[in-house]
């Protein structure tokens, strides 16, 4: 039989071991139950605002950009089955999505955004990009045609997603990013336009483009001198009175004679009649006429104006001898005819084409044996009048036996 001592001796070690075991049993040991909670939250997908990122037209997108956010970090996007890996950051972006970019297509699109835990957010959207509408403006102020071409042309531009810029033959002109815009008064030398073929590209803020081809001409009006005596009186290469017929397919706007402007009626056909010194800017001597069409193209014509000639009569010679015989001893008289009222007349007699010295009156006495049969006798009558050029009229007779 075990002794009580012995039993007490053994009880101390047993008590210590028992305490150790109990301590171990009551101490908490880290386990999977205390690991970080699993990520079950899908990414947040937000459409970015601002024309540089997103353009809405008629309820659809012409282009669209997305802001992506997930506390567990964004891993990738899948657009219509096309995967784009991202940089595993809390914030990320998918910018400037439009048909042909990142797998986007015209019409309905499906975007899936994944975080690194595999959570996904699905977003559907419609892309319906529409290029700008380009219309030629009517009205002489804006557009002038020359057959199938233009002397000048203006365009109305519209786009629900806002018009951004135009490019004319490679020359860029930024616009105000409005739904409506204009490109006015295009002609050679303006906004990059050239004579002949031109190419205009019109872009909206989403990058959609409309291309227009057009031809520019720069033909000035045709200017023709009217040859009817009612309208034009020529004197060699000069004119006492001159009238012009004007034509331009793009319509005649005005004429300028020696700096004096005369507005016309903006028709294809026009006239400038009865130009003379003191009328419509005309002056004695050299004159310059510039005819303009409504596009500003011009034609220049130079011409010379002279004073009108005195209206001359038709002179005749009579003799005091019976039957009006022209012979030695006859006294000849010139009848000057009907001259312009107020004209001052002078006379000169000729024998066989040579002026007879001192014979400058209305009468000539055939005396002194110098007028044998066959002598050619001529008288010239000169009329002078203020504001006119002198006129000369002559008549001739032949002496007989």
Q: Is residue 29 part of a domain?
A: no
pLDDT computed for residue 200 by the predictor: 98
Rounded to two decimals, the pTM is 0.59
Boundary-marking domain end, from 94, 127, 160: 127
Residue 6 has pLDDT above 90, yes or no: no
pLDDT computed for residue 2 by the predictor: 37
CATH assignment of the domain containing 229: 2.60.40
pLDDT in tens, 11-45: 333 343 333 333 333 344 454 444 468 899 999 99
Pair 147, 205 in one domain: yes
pLDDT computed for residue 358 by the predictor: 96
Residues 233-240: what's their mean pLDDT? 95
pLDDT in tens, 264-290: 999 999 999 999 999 999 999 999 999
User: How many structural domains compose the chain?
Assistant: 4
Chain-wide mean pLDDT for the chain?
90
Residue 78 has pLDDT above 60, yes or no: yes
**Domain, as residue range, for 142:** 133-216
Q: SS3 for the chain, per residue?
A: CCCHHHHHHHHHHHHHHHHHHHHHHHCCCCCHHHCCCCCCCCCEEEECCCCCCCEEECCEEEEEEEEEECCCCEEEEEECCEEEECCCCCEEEEEEECCCCCCCCCEEEEEEEEECCCCEEEEEEEECCCCCEEEECCCCCCCEEECCEEEEEEEEEEEEEEEEEEEECCEEEEEEEEEEEEEEEECCCCCCCCCEEEEEEEEECCCCEEEEEEEECCCCCEEEECCCCCCCEEECCEEEEEEEEEEEEEEEEEEEECCEEEEEEEEEEEEEEEECCCCCCCCCEEEEEEEEECCCCEEEEEEEECCCECCCCCCEEEECCHHHCCCCCCEEEEECCCCCCCCEEEEEEEECCEECCCCCCCEEECCCCCCCCCCEEEEEEEEECCCCECEEEEEEEECCC
Pair 204, 151 in one domain: yes
Boundary-marking domain end, from 127, 162, 182: 127
Pair 394, 356 in one domain: yes
Boundary-marking domain end, from 84, 107, 127: 127
pLDDT computed for residue 58 by the predictor: 82
pLDDT computed for residue 36 by the predictor: 62
Instruction: Give the pLDDT band of residue 401 (cuts 50, 70, 90).
Output: confident
């Amino acid at each position: 039989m075990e002794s009580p001592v012995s039993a007490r001796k053994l009880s101390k070690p047993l008590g210590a071991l028992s305490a150790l075991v109990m301590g171990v049993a009551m101490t908490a040991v880290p386990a999977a139950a205390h690991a970080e909670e699993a990520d079950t939250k899908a990414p947040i997908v937000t459409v970015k605002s601002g024309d540089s990122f997103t353009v809405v037209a008629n309820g659809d997108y012409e282009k669209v950009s997305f802001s992506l956010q997930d506390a567990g970090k964004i891993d990738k996007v899948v657009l219509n089955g096309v995967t784009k890996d991202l940089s595993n950051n809390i914030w990320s972006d998918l910018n400037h999505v439009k048909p042909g970019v990142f797998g986007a297509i015209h019409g309905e699109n499906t975007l899936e955004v994944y975080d690194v835990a595999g959570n996904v957010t699905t977003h559907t959207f419609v892309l319906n990009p529409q290029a700008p509408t380009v219309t030629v403006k009517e009205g002489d102020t804006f557009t002038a045609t020359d057959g199938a071409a233009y002397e000048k042309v203006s365009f109305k531009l519209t786009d629900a997603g806002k018009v951004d810029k135009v490019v004319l033959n490679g020359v860029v002109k930024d616009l105000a990013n409005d739904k409506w815009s204009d490109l006015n008064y295009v002609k050679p030398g303006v906004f990059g336009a050239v004579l002949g073929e031109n190419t205009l590209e019109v872009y909206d803020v989403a990058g959609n483009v409309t291309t227009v081809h057009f031809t520019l001409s720069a033909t000035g009006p045709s200017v023709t001198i009217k040859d009817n005596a009612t309208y034009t009186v020529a004197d060699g290469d000069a004119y006492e009175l001159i009238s012009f017929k004007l034509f331009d397919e793009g319509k005649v706007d005005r004429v300028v004679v020696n700096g004096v402007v005369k507005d016309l009626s903006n028709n294809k056909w026009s006239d400038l009649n009865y130009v003379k010194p003191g009328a419509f800017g005309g002056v004695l001597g050299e004159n310059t006429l510039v005819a303009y069409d409504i596009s500003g193209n011009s034609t220049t014509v130079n011409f010379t104006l002279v004073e009108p000639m005195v209206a001359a009569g038709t002179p005749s010679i009579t003799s005091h001898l019976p039957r009006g015989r022209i012979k030695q001893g006859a006294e000849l008289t010139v009848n000057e005819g009907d001259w312009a009222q107020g004209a001052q007349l002078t006379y000169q007699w000729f024998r066989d084409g040579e002026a007879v010295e001192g014979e400058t009156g209305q009468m000539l006495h055939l005396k002194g044996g110098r007028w044998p049969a066959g002598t050619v006798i001529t008288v010239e009558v000169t009329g002078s009048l203020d504001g006119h050029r002198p006129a000369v009229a002559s008549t001739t007779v032949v002496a007989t036996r």
